A = this chain, B = another copy of it.
Amino acid sequence: MSAVTDSLDWDHVEPAAARRLIRGAIDAFAERGFQATTTRDIASRAGMSPAALYVHYPSKERLLFEISLYGHNAALEVLRSADQGGTPADRLRGLVAAFTAWHARHHTIAHVVQYELNALSPEHLAEVATIRRAISTEIEQVLADGVQDGSFAVPDLPGTTLAVLSLSIDVARWYTPHRGDPDALGKLYADLAHRMVQT
């Protein structure tokens, strides 16, 4: 497993009780959705009382924000690590393969991160939106580089950027481990995304 995969074990969250609450919240949000989850439910999954939860997090929204912030940063880091240079085609394939495999491998947290954005406070959503723009820029820049050197034809750069991201992100909706190996899926999607733009 990569460093980023490991770090999704939430080992950086201290103390262990706070880490158990994060994990309980991810499971509860994924299972029932943010709105239907109670702090009692999260605390109980962490083997704690509701009162003990508030020692670590002031609200259910704060837990969602921590999860969303870390999930988005991990996805951005995966993209940045995957950009190993080379031709725009090599770079695009690397980015899409890694981003897709990440959404398959971490489909539970990716699901929470993608589908509960509206439950964040406006300030927290703004902070997450900055990371989302950075993720989008990683793809858009590679597409623009390919247009510039003539290897890609992209009549609608923002629309195609969104489509490439969308293909990977939607994996979090339908992926379950019996759907196959995350890396094989990443390779297929790298091919499809490259075909979308090559001249």
Q: Which residues of A contact B (CB under 8 A)?
A: 32-36, 114-115, 155-156, 159-160, 162-163, 166-167, 169-171, 173-174, 185, 188-189, 191-192, 195-198
- Give the interface SS of chain A, mostly helix, strand, loop or mixed: helix
Q: Would you give the shortest CB distance from A16 to chain B, in whole angstroms?
A: 29
Least distance between A64 CB and chain B CB atoms (Å):
13
Complex A-B, nearest 10 residue pairs according to Cβ-Cβ distance, in ascending order? A35-B36, A36-B36, A170-B170, A33-B33, A166-B170, A32-B35, A192-B196, A159-B188, A195-B196, A33-B35
Q: How many copies does the complex hold?
A: 2
**Distance (Å) between the CB of A131 and the closest chain B CB?**
16
Give chain B nearest CB distance to A138 CB in angstroms: 17
Task: Name the residue on B nearest A164 (C-beta).
Answer: B192
What residue of chain B has the Cβ atom nearest to residue A193's Cβ?
A: B196
A35 contacts across to B, CB distance below 8 A:
32-33, 35-36
